[in-house]
Amino acid sequence: MLVEENTLNEALNKYFGYDQFKGAQEEVIRNVLARKNTFVIMPTGGGKSMCYQLPALMSKGTAIIISPLIALMKNQVDAIRGFRLPLPKKYKLTFKRI
């Protein structure tokens, strides 16, 4: 799917309220929209989620986005439990295999 620059910027503003992309987001999004296999490594806060969410919103059909965030959260909770610190009830996580 070839997308003109103004269309991409309009979608960014419409769905997320931003006027410009961050770092390499635009290049990644163009690759995803062109249906190229795309693997992205960015630091925390680098805008990875946007790279997959915006193309999903702009495309027809269903998008499945797999994120390691839940696994990371579980690892962090397990590490905290290893310190034998009580975990506040509001942060209680339960994980279920599907």
For 46, residues 6+ apart whose C-beta sits below 8 A from its C-beta are 22, 23
User: Residue 90 has which token pair?
Assistant: 């509001």
How does pLDDT run across 14-57, given as a tens digit for each residue?
Answer: 999 999 999 999 999 999 999 898 888 888 778 888 898 999 99
Q: Model's pTM, two decimal places? A: 0.63
Does residue 74 carry a pLDDT above 70?
yes
Residue type, 31: N
User: Residue 41 has which token pair?
Assistant: 């490594």
- Count CB neighbours of 18 within 10 A: 14
Kindly state the DSSP code that residue 60 receives in the 8-state scheme: S
Average pLDDT of every residue of the chain: 80
